[in-house]
Structure 1
Amino acid sequence: MKIQWLLLIALIFAVIIAAFAVVNVDAVPVNYIFGEAEFPLILVILASALLGFLLSGVVALARGYTLQRKVKSLQKEMAVKESLIATQQNEIAEYQKAGVSPDAQVVTSDEVTRDERVENYEEKPRNNY
């Protein structure tokens, strides 16, 4: 439905541009970087509209290509993570079948063990002078 509305809007826009171009048929000077020429205004208007359409189309295609590459990359990452989850679920199921309860592991960036932390935080006797 969205595409149909976009096509309808594009058709209306094209008709408006064509009507505007047909009304303006006088010759106008067009300055280029290296020269000047006279063209009918209808051609200038239609050429400008066509170039604008082509430029916006190229930008839309480039954006779509970039987004498509990102989607593929995220799909690959998701497949890897789903595989890892499936492997871990299988390991959990094997542990449950064997009746083994694995020790919980805490992953930290500190190299200090739990016992050393407890010892460091225990109250030590203070010397009062």
Structure 2
Amino acid sequence: MNKQWTIIFALIFTLIVAIFAVINVRSVEVDYLFGRSEWPLILVILGSVLMGALIVFSVGIFQVMKLKREIKTLRKENRTAIHKQEDTHLADQTDTQDASAMIEKKD
């Protein structure tokens, strides 16, 4: 259900940007570090939206990679802890069996 809401919000946002861009079709002057040029406002708006989306996507990918690395580390730690627990449990069982055997020998 969460993905559906994300898609709905993305479509609404896209529709709003498209309407806003179509309404603003006049040319505007864009200043760069190395010069100036005139571009239709619709291209400036769409270019800005695309650059913003690219930045958000890049940050999202970085976060996903970081979380996957953390999950991998935690799973490894979990496996190690489980093995230690199993070894301790087996050692306790062996000690209990040895103690039982010693008690039986005394009797």
Give yes or no for TM over 0.5. yes
Give percent identity, aligned residues only. 38
**Structure 1 residue 6 displacement after superposition:** 0.3
Q: How far did 1:98 drift?
A: 1.6
Output the CA distance in 2 between the equivalents of 1:61 and 1:67.
Answer: 10
How many residues align? The count is: 100
Alpha-carbon separation, structure 2, partners of 1:72 and 1:6:
27
Equivalent-residue separation in structure 2 for 1:11 and 1:58 (angstroms): 20
Structure 2: state its 5+ residue gaps: 101-107
Q: What amino acid is aligned across from residue 72 of structure 1 in structure 2?
A: K
Structure 1 residues 16-64: Cα deviation after superposition (integer angstroms, max 9, x where no partner): 0000000000000000000101000000000000110110000000011
For 2:87, the equivalent position in structure 1 comes to 87
Q: TM-score, normalised by structure 2?
A: 0.91
* Runs of 4+ with deviation above 6 angstroms: none
| Structure with bigger gyration radius | 1
By percentage of residues, which structure has more helix? 2
Q: Which 5+ residue runs of structure 1 have no aligned equivalent?
A: 101-129
* Larger RCO (CA under 8 A, 6+ residues apart): 2
Query: What CA RMSD, in Å, does the superposition of the two structures yield over aligned residues?
Result: 0.9
* Structure 2 letter corresponding to 1:4: Q
5 Å-filtered alignment, 1:7-18, equals: 7-18=7-18
